Amino acid sequence: MSKVQNIILVHGFWADGSCYSEIIPTLLTEGYKVIAVQNPLTSLEDDIAATKRALDQLEGKCILVGHSWGGFVITTVGNDERVAGLVYIAALAPDAGESMADLMSKYGSPSPHFQEQNGFVWISREGIDEVLANDLSEERKALIHATQITPSISLTEAKSSSPAWRDKPSWYVLASNDKAVPPDLQHEMSQRMNAKTATVASSHFPMISHPKEVLEVISEATVSSQ
């Protein structure tokens, strides 16, 4: 059975490409060409450009995978004709003209663990423990804290353009124990885009805590997006 051979992984806030380290070795072993984008998190345009540079390195069709804020990025980059399908992991999936603030404001206020400094937002170790990664090991939580890329506060107000999920097949990994992107919001977005949805009892990083289930969804996308 033929399948898409290229996979681009896009991370979200307070993370870097290493958040996909639990699934990259398996994808490589299975013969996929994989790039984990390192988003600068300075503006939506900069993150889109970083993902497009990764896309330019590959030949043939590609599956875009976005975690958290990474969903915002793949929603736009996915309009490229080289993108065959989209996989959202506990991710934001905006419609045209929507911002992160628009989506998140319906489900409560920002966590007190977010600390703004010089226009960028840090997350405390307590925030990683309580909001992002409560089901991960202490060692992994410490790694996330040490390697966090701080996002520009401006990203919360950036508006999305025409969403690729209207025209491209989409999958969604819903994290039912997520305290960062509310599960009810994840459900609302996945239903709106008619994504094939898999639910896992995970915090905000299903690709770390439930790599097998996430790999199954990505594998399905590579086969079904032909």
What pLDDT, on a 0 to 100 scale, did the predictor assign at position 114? 86
For residue 2, pLDDT over 90 is answered with no
- Could you give the domains of the chain? 6-224 (3.40.50.1820)
Question: Cα angle at 225 between 97 and 216, to 5 degrees?
Answer: 100
State the SS3 of 9-77.
EECCCCCCHHHHCCCHHHHHHCCCEEEEECCCCCCHHHHHHHHHHHHHCCCCCEEEEEECCHHHHHHHH
Tell me, yes or no, if the pTM score tops 0.75. yes
What would the pLDDT profile of 109-137 be if each residue is shown by its tens digit? 666 788 899 999 999 999 999 999 999 99
> What is 201-221 written as a DSSP string?
S--S-HHHH-HHHHHHHHHHH
Per-residue model confidence (pLDDT) at position 1: 59
Instruction: HSE, CB side, 13 Å, CA atoms: give it for residue 31.
Output: 6
